[in-house]
Amino acid sequence: MTRPGGKVAIIGGGMAGLSAAWRLSEPSWRERFDSITVYQRGWRLGGKGASSRGDNGRIEEHGLHIWLGSYENAFALLRECYAELDRATTDPAAPIHTWDQAMIPADNLGLADQWGSDWLTWLGTFSRNDCLPGDPNGNGREMTAVGFVRRALQLVLDFTDSQREAIPLGLTLTASPHPASAIGLMETVRRATVAALFSVSNPGALDGTPAVLLEQALDAIRGALEYEHRPDHKRAWLLISLVTAVIRGIVADNLVTDPRGFRAINDEDFGQWILRHGGHPDVLDFPLVRGVYDLVFGYEEADPDRPAVAAGLMIFLIGLVLFEYKGAIFWKMTAGMGDIVIAPLYQALRGRGVEFEFFHRLDTLHLDARHQTVDAIAMGRQVRLAKGVDHYQPLTTVRGLPVFPNAPLADQIEAKSGLDALESHFGERTDVEARVLRRGVDFDHVVLAVSLGMVPIVAQEMIADRPEWQEMTSRVRTVATQAFQLWLRPDEAALGWHEPGVTISAYLRPFETWASMPQTLWAEDWPDDDGPSTVAYFCGSLYAPWPTTEDALNYSRRHTQSVHAEATKYIDRHLGLYFPNAVTEQGFAWHLLSGVNGQRGASALATQHVSVNIDPSDRYVQSVPGSDNYRLRPDESGYDNLVLAGDWTDSGMNAGCIEAAVMSGLEAANALLGRGRHHRIRGFWLP
Ligand SMILES: Cc1cc2nc3c(=O)[nH]c(=O)nc-3n(C[C@H](O)[C@H](O)[C@H](O)COP(=O)(O)OP(=O)(O)OC[C@H]3O[C@@H](n4cnc5c(N)ncnc54)[C@H](O)[C@@H]3O)c2cc1C
């Protein structure tokens, strides 16, 4: 890595690129660099986390975005950003001034559970704790197998306590369970399981009697429960079987002592690993397990019959989700991700003097003759700015909140055709100029922060040059996703739903996840007398293999049509689980939809927001078994002036999520600044 100094080009303004810019532009950055410039295709920042405003000021997301209470680095960054923006002074009219107005705790989670031919919702409330995510001075460390085992045992205690409290279909998890109120079957289950687990978590135990005893104990517990007839009993036992198998696996595979920790089992799928360690086959269909697979779109080619998530990564994620949250298990945004995360970051970065070049599409990174550095960056300039405009200002306001619009702001650019295609790999290219940035003139250092789906397109020279780039781009996989948002006139209670703010997964494909999002409606701009009272976000993976030999426009058109058709079918057939009062024997009551510009009934359907995420840049980065070893670290590009940033790198988080993108961006900046990899990285990471 060359010494800091000179000009930094960050290519790609998603969470990873912006996080790199954030760390690089910390106070006195001008003593280290001459300039920091973010190059971004199209008119929006945020990448897969981008959202913008459409008709009626509607929030239009790529897909549902929820933050885990354990996203230490992402929350720390957001908190620093709001503190620095100081909107109370600089923009008092903006309705959101602070990070905790932007993000609110979301304690209610749910899983859809098939019981015979019916679907049930299994709802749970996770108790809060006194911490807050991203508190100043937080530190970071590896998540250890020992720590996981300890917390997993506590989970069983909490769970059986919650069942003992006789909440038939509910689940309450607390860090400090209430004292027992009654001793019954569940208490026996609890005592037997915990005793057996403690004995098996002794590393010497597996070959001996405790393992046999454990199996007998589990069988006996199952026999004593009404496993086939009561969903609560079945869930309790499956949770015990799951946790038991995980603990046995951790011990049997020596994860406690293996220096690779959880990574040691990342070549195996989680479900297969569970079965290998004695988990009951029904565990694979346990909603909790399916729900975590759903969380990371963890199916090969979006095929529900081919679940594929690296076992170690999955345990690490379960540990993060359940055991390491601060404040609340989930946090939800009070407006769009583009509004309350990306726009403030853009504003604060501009305030620090970071430059943004919108409408710049990276086409190719060129190496020098000795293949040691990035020598030139070939770009397409997509539009020309209007006369008198030096810098494109990407934000507009809705109800006083600075937000990204869903199309470029026409008064700042010269009129031209093809604006729709600016953010697409598929549309016709109508560039106004081919621009080549030269090393030593326009840039000295490069932060490659485009998404993984783009890497084979823009970094062909690196892939041809280095086997590790070749392996990274072929082994780390991506999947397309699909999402839609529905606005409905009645409130949730009138529709028959009584758990506001819940997020439910593990339901029917292709939209297995649903989130209740009424907390965002205040930020939209509907007419006072004709606005929705409910907004619901749905999301899932999509079978759309890439690359393809199919004509690009055909590919795009075909998937767009099929996602719209699937969304319509889904609403008509499956929404009754959540909104029973919105369906009749004829299907969904279309008149309940809030359409754009007052449209009602079936025509309102065409105006709901549907996102077809098939662009290579929008493809979700998966954590399939056998891929972890092939991720490159942000400081492992192999080229002197290039660092990597994105949820596809080996950041220690290694899952497609905001926290991974932030960690990766910060680590890329650390590398460029000559600091250690984990310098001021917080929370937990894989060893
Ligand atoms: C449907 C969906 C739902 C999700 N839900 C969640 C969630 O609930 N919680 C969570 O934590 N994570 C979620 N994620 C994952 C999260 O969005 C990503 O992990 C994160 O946004 C990745 O950030 P990134 O910066 O690594 O990549 P990206 O967001 O892909 O950013 C890459 C940037 O590079 C730009 N770019 C690409 N190609 C070029 C080019 N040729 N020239 C110039 N610029 C280019 C892109 O426009 C973009 O701005 C979800 C993802 C999807 C798809």
Distance of CA 618 to the CA centre of its chain: 12
pTM: 0.94
What number is the average pLDDT over the span 639-665?
98
Which class for 591: exposed (0-12), middle (13-18), buried (19 or more C-beta within 10 A)? exposed
- pLDDT tens across 236-285, in order? 889 888 988 998 899 899 998 899 999 999 999 999 999 999 999 999 99
Q: What is the mean pLDDT of the chain?
A: 91
Atom 46 of ligand 1, nearest CA residue: 47
Q: 451 CA distance to ligand 1 centroid (A)?
A: 6
Atom of ligand 1 at shortest range from CA of 12: 34
- pLDDT tens across 40-59, in order? 999 999 999 999 999 999 99
CA distance 95 to 332: 17
pLDDT for residue 356 is more than 50: yes
What was the pLDDT predicted at 177?
A: 34
Q: Give the chain's length.
A: 687
7-56+333-476+633-685 CATH choice from 3.40.50.620, 3.50.50.60, 3.40.50.12280, 3.20.20.140: 3.50.50.60
pLDDT for residue 468 is more than 80: yes
- pLDDT tens across 566-584, in order? 999 999 999 999 999 999 9
What was the pLDDT predicted at 2?
A: 47
What was the pLDDT predicted at 417?
A: 87
Contact 20, 668 (CB under 8 A): yes
Atom of ligand 1 at shortest range from CA of 621: 19
3-state SS string for 503-532: EEECCCCCCCEEEECHHHHHHCCCCCCCCC
More confident residue, 131 or 427: 131
Regarding the beta carbon of 481 and ligand 1, being less than 6 Å apart is answered yes
What was the pLDDT predicted at 171?
A: 39
Which class for 155: exposed (0-12), middle (13-18), buried (19 or more C-beta within 10 A)? middle
pLDDT for residue 229 is more than 80: yes
Q: 41 CA distance to ligand 1 centroid (A)?
A: 13
Amino acid identity, position 307: P
Regarding the beta carbon of 66 and ligand 1, being less than 6 Å apart is answered yes
Question: What letter does residue 413 receive in the DSSP assignment?
Answer: B
Collapsed DSSP state (helix, strand, coil) of residue 588: strand
Regarding the beta carbon of 9 and ligand 1, being less than 6 Å apart is answered no
Q: 224 CA distance to ligand 1 centroid (A)?
A: 48
Beta bridge partners of 535: 487
Distance of CA 22 to the CA centre of its chain: 20
Collapsed DSSP state (helix, strand, coil) of residue 53: strand
Across 250-285, b (16+ Cβ under 10 Å) vs e yields bbbbebeebeebbbbbbebbbbebbebbbbbeebbe
Atom 16 of ligand 1, nearest CA residue: 657
What number is the average pLDDT over the span 476-494?
97
Regarding the beta carbon of 40 and ligand 1, being less than 6 Å apart is answered yes
What was the pLDDT predicted at 274?
A: 96
Q: Token pair 């990306």 is at which residue?
A: 342
Regarding the beta carbon of 79 and ligand 1, being less than 6 Å apart is answered no
Contact 60, 70 (CB under 8 A): no
Regarding the beta carbon of 453 and ligand 1, being less than 6 Å apart is answered no
Q: 423 CA distance to ligand 1 centroid (A)?
A: 13
- pLDDT tens across 65-103, in order? 999 999 999 999 999 999 999 999 999 999 999 999 999
Beta bridge partners of 563: none
Regarding the beta carbon of 613 and ligand 1, being less than 6 Å apart is answered yes
What was the pLDDT predicted at 420?
A: 84
Question: What letter does residue 187 receive in the DSSP assignment?
Answer: H
- pLDDT tens across 73-82, in order? 999 999 999 9
Atom 12 of ligand 1, nearest CA residue: 657
What was the pLDDT predicted at 204?
A: 54
Q: How large is the C-alpha radius of gyration of the chain? A: 25
pLDDT grade, residue 134 (50/70/90)?
very high
Roughly how many angstroms between the first and final C-alpha of the chain, as a whole number? 23
What was the pLDDT predicted at 606?
A: 87
What was the pLDDT predicted at 202?
A: 58
pLDDT for residue 206 is more than 50: no
CA distance 250 to 153: 13
Regarding the beta carbon of 539 and ligand 1, being less than 6 Å apart is answered yes
Contact 641, 373 (CB under 8 A): yes
Q: 341 CA distance to ligand 1 centroid (A)?
A: 13
- pLDDT tens across 21-34, in order? 999 999 999 999 99
The conformational region for residue 553 under phi > 0 = left, psi -120 to 50 = alpha, else beta, is: alpha
Regarding the beta carbon of 634 and ligand 1, being less than 6 Å apart is answered no
pLDDT grade, residue 175 (50/70/90)?
very low
Q: Which of 345, 431, 657 to mutate to test the pocket of ligand 1 (most atoms within 8 A of CB)?
A: 657
Q: What is the torsion angle, in degrees rounded to the nearest 10, for the CA atoms of residue 64, residue 70, residue 76 and residue 77?
A: -30
- pLDDT tens across 506-529, in order? 999 999 999 999 999 999 999 988
Using CA atoms, how far residue 387 sits from 390, 392, 681, in Å, is 8, 11, 44
What was the pLDDT predicted at 593?
A: 94
Beta bridge partners of 482: 540, 612
Report the percent of the chain where pLDDT is more than 90: 76
CA distance 620 to 604: 29
Domain boundaries, the chain: 7-56+333-476+633-685, 145-255+269-309, 478-617
- pLDDT tens across 612-645, in order? 999 999 999 999 999 999 999 999 999 999 999 9
